[in-house]
Structure 1
Amino acid sequence: MSGSSGGGDPLRRLTKLLARLPGIGEKSALRLALAIVRSDDEYSRALSEAIADVHEQLRLCSACCDLTAQELCSICLDPRRDPQLICVVAQPQDRMALERASVFAGRYHILHGVLDPLGGIGPSELKVAELLARLEGMSSLPDNQRIREVIVATSPNVEGDATALYISKLLHPLGINVSRIASGVAVGGELEYADMTTLHRALEDRRVI
């Protein structure tokens, strides 16, 4: 195998790059790197192309800010989704968790993070302005297409709660009902790891904020 630009041991370089991924430690990174080394050429090429395609083709949906290869994602284009319900989540993986559980039939808005002042993440680092622009742009639509409720489904921890409260304060002047998922999701837990029953209960028992 030929090394890429930068020189050095290609296995060590690949291991270091893999170890930078969330949840991947040095030992796991080494196992993954060795698995790639031992794979056939076809798999290695396909993996390399898939990584390149993610960077070249994925963009943010112009409506909900989810990741998509098109101008609008498949959920925003789906006429079967309830256009009057928007579920606000922190990350794309949270939306994926809700979709796997089949507990929500409306549309989404992805913030790409939560408020974390200590970590240097404020409102300008999130897709909050895009949410406001989206909701304000619906004021001219017929009543049956206007948003009747925004459900804030950020994880039930300090950052998630602060984000939910901030969004609630922004949206109340627009006359939109804002609710928060119930504590079916364990306090301090992450939404993406919740099971289907818990997610269903959290949405069904949501409360106004």
Structure 2
Amino acid sequence: MMNWLSKLLASFRYALDGLKYTLVSQRNMRIHYSAALIVLLLSLYLPLRKIEVLILFVCILLVIVAELINTAVEAVIDMVTTEFHPLAKVAKDVAAGAVLLCSGMAVVVGVSVFYPYMGFLTFSQLEGTPYPPNIGLAALIAFNFFLTLLIKAIVHRLGKLDWEPSMTTSLASCIATSLIVIVDNLLATLLLILLTALMIGTFLHNRKRKNPVILGVVLGALVAVIGFRLM
């Protein structure tokens, strides 16, 4: 009985050592833990419902578990080989992609849960506009992300690397276009157009391949315009 108990306690100790290692060695894990603490403090302060708190718990755990798996994958690969290998890069990139998706989902869920309780963040001046900000905006941005990623994968398989839309400019263009539609203000529209133009100019100046930048901008804007037409 005592032997079984000692093994059980040892397993807990090993698990805690793994959590401690990720906190010590991984900057992203420290960011995740800090964000989790902030979310938990807000959940204590705000009058959240039970289901909302449970959803936040699930999202926090998903992000942390994904980062733990990512760290484990990196450790195993570094143990097997210290040289560059295409498959090792694929394994690390896929594990990092899992963390990215979980983190993105957690951000969307967190904003959706906390927004109704944050009175100082409400935009009453936008309530009368044709497209007031709501969860549909998050769905539109997520749709743009997955569509751009799908197009990048298809074009890459066809070997047309110059025709892969840039994810960064696609998302930026989608968000900027969405804000222009939502705000419905001439001055804000001009400022957003200027900001977007400056960003595009910087990308075009710093990148050798221009097509991905331009295609990303066009794709993001089209998704936003069509998306708001369907709302």
The answer to whether the superposition gives a TM-score over 0.5 is no
Higher strand share: 1
Q: TM-score by structure 1 length?
A: 0.32
Q: TM-score by structure 2 length?
A: 0.30
Higher helix share: 2
